[in-house]
């Protein structure tokens, strides 16, 4: 069975990294931290193609996060 991907959405983060649960909230995949925690602990979130169950995982620019059919490409925020 093929899964159609909606497309890649870029999310810019300030600083060196963002925690996975915070990224899910920032990108509107999860409405709350509790919802993000459940999605991550249930093995529904992939980081760079691998299931990630660590909600505090550091996500850095260049990483890709996938949930369901949504892909988030993490980029660095402009400093200027």
- Give the confidence band of 7 by pLDDT, cuts at 50, 70, 90: confident
The rounded distance, in Å, linking the Cα atoms of 37 and 72 is: 17
Q: For residue range 14-50, what is the model confidence (pLDDT) as tens digits? A: 999 999 999 999 999 999 999 999 999 999 999 999 9
What percentage of the chain has pLDDT greater than the value 70? 90
Closest CA relative to residue 27, chosen from 76, 72, 77: 72
The SS3 of residue 67 is strand
Phi first, then psi: give them for residue 23, nearest 5 degrees: -65, -40
Examine the pLDDT at 79 and tell me if it is beyond 80.
no
Looking at residue 42, what DSSP letter applies? T
What is the per-residue pLDDT for 56? 94
């Amino acid at each position: 069975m093929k899964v159609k991907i909606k497309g890649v959405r870029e999310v810019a983060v300030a600083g060196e990294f963002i925690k996975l649960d915070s990224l899910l909230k920032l990108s509107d995949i999860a409405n709350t931290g509790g919802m993000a925690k459940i999605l991550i602990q249930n093995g529904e979130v992939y980081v760079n193609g691998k299931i990630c169950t660590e909600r505090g995982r550091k996500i850095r620019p260049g990483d890709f996060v996938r949930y369901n059919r949504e892909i988030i490409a993490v980029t660095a925020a402009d400093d200027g």
